[in-house]
């Protein structure tokens, strides 16, 4: 038991009390100033500029070489201290393995969320050997401590973001993660049992019954082996339907299944809604099945995979697939149920529609009526109609099958329109005015174009026509409009996610940040200005989704003290004030610790070299933002204990010596004093190293 001698405690408590008194006095003196600083929370009065104010505004603008457009852009984005953003953009973090939450329109980075990569500030992956995150970050027992995050998906109810969960795929390792938006923490990572690369992930069905994960590079499913001469015979693509259990907040692996697909490189996916509810769509390229064997006289992948004029849009009736799986028609590969190509053909749940040359994005319009496909090597977007697809399937309007026997629909029978936009169209989003927005990678522009068909009455422009383009700096990949892939898009903001920033910011060595550019899309017609540039200097984001901030119901602190954020329940093992101490059983040591401004209890922990230590800490704070950190030097341990949170760390005390531990969050005026010592007694000094001897020694 290591407790503070009572005199020392009394002295410390007196000091803390004196400190608090001082801070109360200071805060009284500063109250007015603080109120002024918090003005962002209050309603602003209507502006009525005096001539003096106009003059000083003009002077600032002239000194900083700002024109009227710049001032307008600033006025549209500047967000006074204390005022909150209207939207939150959840952006993938590319190779950083994280996600970023960015406020819109201020474009302030609110925080990162650690997903596939250990992140010390959040204590993610740094809690010793038994940490949940660390376990989740292993693939077949090997730690894989990064991910290539591409496509975040917010959970949906009836096709609208509901603000409860966030999913993200790891392209490099074919994994999928679940983030709980009550505490913005990663709760689960699942590894696809069939393959090592995904891309069409994550995309949710309109009520988040399933999360779709499509493959990218075909391989031998179930981690098999085959050389390229076996490509057509042995390599396969796939799409996995992960069942989501909303109640548990976890993917239900036991009720998930996959579909075998031909070894075309499946690309992006989107899930039908409204008129197309029950279907999902996946692009593909390399239907040539090029194997890139240059040494054998074949063309390299880039040429071989883009020879043909048409690739295949995969059209999957997922309700039929679900029924086939439930009827026991799936066969296990690597222990995971997979519907074979033969089954999918026999059940009539998989069809192909030709799509122009090397497509990339497929995006379903808000009403679910149309699927927009953008081909990297075709200046058009191609729009398919789900009505026409259904009619063509019913009338068997096929032009034949692919080499695997999958029916190929007649292109002209399912095509609704084609719109010429410019070079390198990639991804499309939608607004509330009947417009679509497509990123043009090679043109470095965002194209606004008018939807036709059912959307034609919404606007005066001709349907299916390019309306305007806004230049982007530079080489835009994805774009994200407010609710831009839901049944109810917003329509004021769009973020262009540019891959290159070149000259936009101060050079940061040869490695430059990506550039998120905010566009004001509120006005119909040809006005669509860029109003903010945000450099992203941590990994290369791909897709992002933008949600109305008031849909998020984050916890301000954990609901109860002693909260286990992995089970999302109070934990019976959580130490409470009064129950702190060190308990030894043989060579096993249990440390029960509490943390509160500005001390840990206990402050000294004595163990023997080789002891197996279980260290439990509860942050007993209930005040918002009263987070404590906890690190032990030399043991690769750092925790973030948010108000009310309980964590358990396990490690072997294999480094003899006296190691300080301390709080890593500057939590209070006496934060530096929030520390203690772990004394690991060297084995040479213990004498008899039997458990009984060690126990006796410890007494």
Residues forming contacts to ligand CUK in the complex (CB under 6 A) are 150-151, 199, 268, 360, 426-427, 477-478, 542-543
Placement of tokens 């034609």 in the chain: 456
By beta-carbon proximity to ligand CUA, the closer residue of 16 and 442 is: 16
In three-state secondary structure terms, 598 is: coil
Choose the one of ligand CUK, ligand CUA, none that binds residue 360, judging by a C-beta under 5 to 8 angstroms depending on kind: ligand CUK
User: Minimum distance between the CB of residue 150 and ligand CUK, rounded to whole angstroms?
Assistant: 4
Q: 592 with 616: CB under 8 angstroms?
A: yes
Placement of tokens 């209890």 in the chain: 601
Structure tokens at 540: 């290369």
x-or-dash pattern for ligand CUA, window 572-611, by CB under 6 A?
--------------------------x-------------
By beta-carbon proximity to ligand CUK, the closer residue of 132 and 151 is: 151
Choose the one of ligand CUK, ligand CUA, none that binds residue 78, judging by a C-beta under 5 to 8 angstroms depending on kind: none
Backbone angles phi, psi at 164, to 5 degrees: -90, -45
List for the chain the helix, strand, coil content (%; round to 5).
20, 40, 40
d(CA 503, CA 512): 9
Q: Which of 279, 665, 680, 681 binds ligand CUA (CB under 6 A)?
A: 665
User: Minimum distance between the CB of residue 9 and ligand CUA, rounded to whole angstroms?
Assistant: 17
User: Minimum distance between the CB of residue 467 and ligand CUK, rounded to whole angstroms?
Assistant: 23
For residue 388, CA distances in Å to 298, 385, 486 come to 38, 5, 22
Stretch binding ligand CUA (CB under 6 A), from 143-151, 247-255, 604-612, 665-673: 665-673
d(CA 530, CA 494): 9
x-or-dash pattern for ligand CUA, window 613-652, by CB under 6 A?
---------------x------------------------
Choose the one of ligand CUA, ligand CUK, none that binds residue 199, judging by a C-beta under 5 to 8 angstroms depending on kind: ligand CUK
User: Minimum distance between the CB of residue 606 and ligand CUA, rounded to whole angstroms?
Assistant: 22
Q: 617 with 580: CB under 8 angstroms?
A: no
User: What's the per-residue H, E or C state across 640-689?
Assistant: EECCCEEEEEEEECCCCEEEEEECCCCCCCCHHHCEEEEEEECHHHHCCC
**In the window 292-331, what residues touch ligand CUA (CB under 6 A)?**
none
In three-state secondary structure terms, 350 is: strand
By beta-carbon proximity to ligand CUK, the closer residue of 175 and 360 is: 360
Sign of the C-alpha dihedral computed for residues 523, 526, 527 and 533 taken in this order: positive
Sign of the C-alpha dihedral computed for residues 232, 233, 235 and 240 taken in this order: positive
Stretch binding ligand CUA (CB under 6 A), from 10-18, 140-148, 452-460, 659-667: 659-667
**Interface with ligand CUA, residue 667, by CB under 6 A:** yes
By beta-carbon proximity to ligand CUK, the closer residue of 132 and 150 is: 150
User: First-to-last CA distance in the chain?
Assistant: 9
Choose the one of ligand CUA, ligand CUK, none that binds residue 663, judging by a C-beta under 5 to 8 angstroms depending on kind: ligand CUA
Q: Please, what is the Cα angle at 426 between 95 and 211, to 5 degrees?
A: 60
For residue 93, CA distances in Å to 115, 126, 146, 161, 431 come to 10, 20, 11, 20, 25
Stretch binding ligand CUA (CB under 6 A), from 339-347, 393-401, 465-473, 664-672: 664-672
Choose the one of ligand CUA, ligand CUK, none that binds residue 667, judging by a C-beta under 5 to 8 angstroms depending on kind: ligand CUA
Backbone angles phi, psi at 578, to 5 degrees: 100, -20
Choose the one of ligand CUK, ligand CUA, none that binds residue 628, judging by a C-beta under 5 to 8 angstroms depending on kind: ligand CUA
By beta-carbon proximity to ligand CUK, the closer residue of 214 and 602 is: 214
Q: How many Cβ atoms from other residues are within 10 Å of residue 163's Cβ?
A: 21
Q: Which of 246, 566, 671, 679 binds ligand CUA (CB under 6 A)?
A: 671
Q: Which of 324, 674, 678, 686 binds ligand CUA (CB under 6 A)?
A: 674
d(CA 134, CA 125): 5
Stretch binding ligand CUA (CB under 6 A), from 317-325, 494-502, 658-666, 678-686: 658-666
Sign of the C-alpha dihedral computed for residues 100, 101, 107 and 110 taken in this order: negative
> With the CA atoms of 60, 65, 68 and 69 taken in that order, what torsion angle do they form, in degrees rounded to the nearest 10?
-130
For residue 584, CA distances in Å to 614, 698, 699 come to 10, 8, 10
Choose the one of ligand CUK, ligand CUA, none that binds residue 674, judging by a C-beta under 5 to 8 angstroms depending on kind: ligand CUA
User: Minimum distance between the CB of residue 565 and ligand CUA, rounded to whole angstroms?
Assistant: 18
By beta-carbon proximity to ligand CUK, the closer residue of 199 and 459 is: 199
d(CA 656, CA 611): 11
Choose the one of ligand CUK, ligand CUA, none that binds residue 543, judging by a C-beta under 5 to 8 angstroms depending on kind: ligand CUK
Stretch binding ligand CUA (CB under 6 A), from 46-54, 479-487, 492-500, 660-668: 660-668
Could you list the residues that contact ligand CUA (CB under 6 A)?
A: 598, 628, 663, 665-667, 671, 674
């Amino acid at each position: 038991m290591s407790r503070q001698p009572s005199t020392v405690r009394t002295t410390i408590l007196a000091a803390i009390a004196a400190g608090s008194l001082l801070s109360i006095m200071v805060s009284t003196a500063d109250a007015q100033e603080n109120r002024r600083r918090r003005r962002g929370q209050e309603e602003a009065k209507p502006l009525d500029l005096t001539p003096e104010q106009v003059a000083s505004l003009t002077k600032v603008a002239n000194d900083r070489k700002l024109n009227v457009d710049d001032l307008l852009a600033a006025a549209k984005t500047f967000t006074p201290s204390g005022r909150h953003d209207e939207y939150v953009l959840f952006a993938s973090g590319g190779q950083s393995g994280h996600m970023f939450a960015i406020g819109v329109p201020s474009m302030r980075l609110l925080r990162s969320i650690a997903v596939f990569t250990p992140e010390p500030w959040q204590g993610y992956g740094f809690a010793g050997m038994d940490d949940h995150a660390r376990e989740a970050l292993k693939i077949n027992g090997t730690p894989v401590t990064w991910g290539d995050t591409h496509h975040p998906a917010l959970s949906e109810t009836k096709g609208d973001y509901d603000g409860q969960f966030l999913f993200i795929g790891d392209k490099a390792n074919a994994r999928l993660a679940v983030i709980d938006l009550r505490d913005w923490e990663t709760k689960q990572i699942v590894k696809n049992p069939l393959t090592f690369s995904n891309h069409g992930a994550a995309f949710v069905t309109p009520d988040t019954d399933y999360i779709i994960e499509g493959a990218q590079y075909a391989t031998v499913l179930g981690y098999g082996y085959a050389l390229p001469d076996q490509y057509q015979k042995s390599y396969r693509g796939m799409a996995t339907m992960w069942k989501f259990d909303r109640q548990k907040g976890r993917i239900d692996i036991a009720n998930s299944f996959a579909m075998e697909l031909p070894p075309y490189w499946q690309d992006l996916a989107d899930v039908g809604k409204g008129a197309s509810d029950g279907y999902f769509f996946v692009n593909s390229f390399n239907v040539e099945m090029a194997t890139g064997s240059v040494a054998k006289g074949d063309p390299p992948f880039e040429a071989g995979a883009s020879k043909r004029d048409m690739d295949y849009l995969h059209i999957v009736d997922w309700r039929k697939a679900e029924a086939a799986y439930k009827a026991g028609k799936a066969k296990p590969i690597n222990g995971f149920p997979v519907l074979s190509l033969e089954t999918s053909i026999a059940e009539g749940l998989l069809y192909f529609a030709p799509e122009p040359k090397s497509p990339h994005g497929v995006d379903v319009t808000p009403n679910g009526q149309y699927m927009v496909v953008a081909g990297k090597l075709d200046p058009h977007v191609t729009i398919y109609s789900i009505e026409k697809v259904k009619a063509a399937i019913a009338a068997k309007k096929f032009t034949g099958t692919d080499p695997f026997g999958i029916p190929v629909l007649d292109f002209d029978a399912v095509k609704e329109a084609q719109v010429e936009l410019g070079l390198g169209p990639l991804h499309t989003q939608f607004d509330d005015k009947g417009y679509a927005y497509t990123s043009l990678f090679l043109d470095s522009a965002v194209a606004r174009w008018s939807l036709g068909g059912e959307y034609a009455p919404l606007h005066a422009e001709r349907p299916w026509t390019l309306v305007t383009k806004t230049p982007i700096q530079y080489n835009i990949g994805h774009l994200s409009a407010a609710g831009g892939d839901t049944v109810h898009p917003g329509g004021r903001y769009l973020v262009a996610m540019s891959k290159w920033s070149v000259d936009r910011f101060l050079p940061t060595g040869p490695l430059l940040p990506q550039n998120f550019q905010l566009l004001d899309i509120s006005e119909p017609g040809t006005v669509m200005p860029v109003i903010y540039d945000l450099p992203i200097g941590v990994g290369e984001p791909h897709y992002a989704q933008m949600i109305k901030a008031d849909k998020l119901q984050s916890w301000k602190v954990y609901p109860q003290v002693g909260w286990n954020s992995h089970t999302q329940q109070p934990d019976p093992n959580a130490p409470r004030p009064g129950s702190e101490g060190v308990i030894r059983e043989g060579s096993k040591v249990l440390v029960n610790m509490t943390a509160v401004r500005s001390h840990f209890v206990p402050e000294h922990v004595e163990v023997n070299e080789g002891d197996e230590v279980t260290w439990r800490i509860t942050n007993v704070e209930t005040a918002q933002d009263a987070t404590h950190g906890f690190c032990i030097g030399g043991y690769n341990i750092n925790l973030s204990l948010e108000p009310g949170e309980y964590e358990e760390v396990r490690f072997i005390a294999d480094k003899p010596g006296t190691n300080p531990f301390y709080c890593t969050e500057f939590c209070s005026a006496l934060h530096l004093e929030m520390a203690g010592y772990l004394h690991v007694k060297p084995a040479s000094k213990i004498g008899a190293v039997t458990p009984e001897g060690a126990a006796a020694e410890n007494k």
